[in-house]
Amino acid sequence: MNEPLSSLLKGFFIRWKSNLWLRFMHWIDLTIFVCYMLAMLGFGFFFLNRNEGAEDYYVGGRNMSSLHIGLSVVATDVGGGFSIGLGGLGFVMGISGSWMLFTGLLGAWLAAVLLIPKVKGNAAFDKAYTFPEIFKHYFTPEVALVAGIISAVGYAGFTSSQILAGAKLAQGTFANLDLQTALIIMGSVAVIYTVMGGLKAVIYTDTVQWAILMMGLVFVGIPISYYAVGGWEAIGRTVDPSLLSMTNITWQKVVYWAVTIIPIWFVGMTLYQRIYACNDEKTAKKAWFLAGLFEWPVMAFMGVALGLFAKVAASQGMFDYLGAENIAETDPETGLPMLLRTVLPVGLMGVMMSAYFSAILSTADSCLMAASGNVVSDIIGYFKEVDHDSDRFLRFSQVTTLLIGAGALFIASMMTNVLDLMLYSYAFMVSGLFVPIVGAFYWQKSSSVGAMGAMILGGAVTILLEVFMEKLPAGLDANVFGISASFMVFVLLSLMFPDGRNKS
* Sequential pLDDT tens for the chain (504 residues): 444 444 544 554 444 444 433 343 467 777 887 888 888 788 778 877 776 667 777 887 788 888 889 888 887 777 655 666 788 899 999 999 999 999 999 999 999 999 999 999 999 999 899 999 999 999 999 999 999 998 988 888 878 877 877 777 777 666 667 777 878 877 888 788 788 877 777 787 777 777 777 777 788 889 999 999 999 999 999 999 999 999 999 999 999 889 888 998 999 888 998 999 998 999 999 999 999 998 898 889 988 999 999 999 999 988 887 777 777 777 787 788 788 878 888 777 777 777 767 767 777 888 888 899 899 999 999 998 877 767 777 788 889 989 998 888 888 877 666 556 666 766 778 899 999 999 999 999 999 999 999 999 998 898 889 878 888 888 888 889 999 999 999 999 999 999 865 566
Containing 457, the helix (H) or strand (E) segment is helix 448-468
What contacts 326, CB < 8 A, 6 or more positions away? none
Find the radius of gyration of the CA atoms of the chain. Answer: 23
| pLDDT for the residue 25 | 41
What's the CATH code, domain 3-249+278-420?
1.20.1730.10
Domain locations along the chain? 3-249+278-420
What contacts 499, CB < 8 A, 6 or more positions away? 139, 446, 447, 448
CB 106 within 8 A of CB 236: no
CB 343 within 8 A of CB 227: no
Residue 214 to residue 206: CA distance in whole angstroms: 12
Count Cβ atoms within 10 A of the Cβ of residue 391 and give its class: 0-12 exposed, 13-18 middle, 19 or more buried.
Answer: exposed
Query: How many other CB atoms are found less than 10 A from the CB of residue 399?
Result: 12
| pLDDT for the residue 225 | 92
Give the distance, in angstroms, between the CA of residue 345 and the centroid of all CA atoms in the same chain.
Answer: 29
Residues making up the chain, counted from first to last: 504
Residue 321 to residue 309: CA distance in whole angstroms: 17
Residue 38 to residue 101: CA distance in whole angstroms: 31
Give the SS3 label for residue 300.
helix
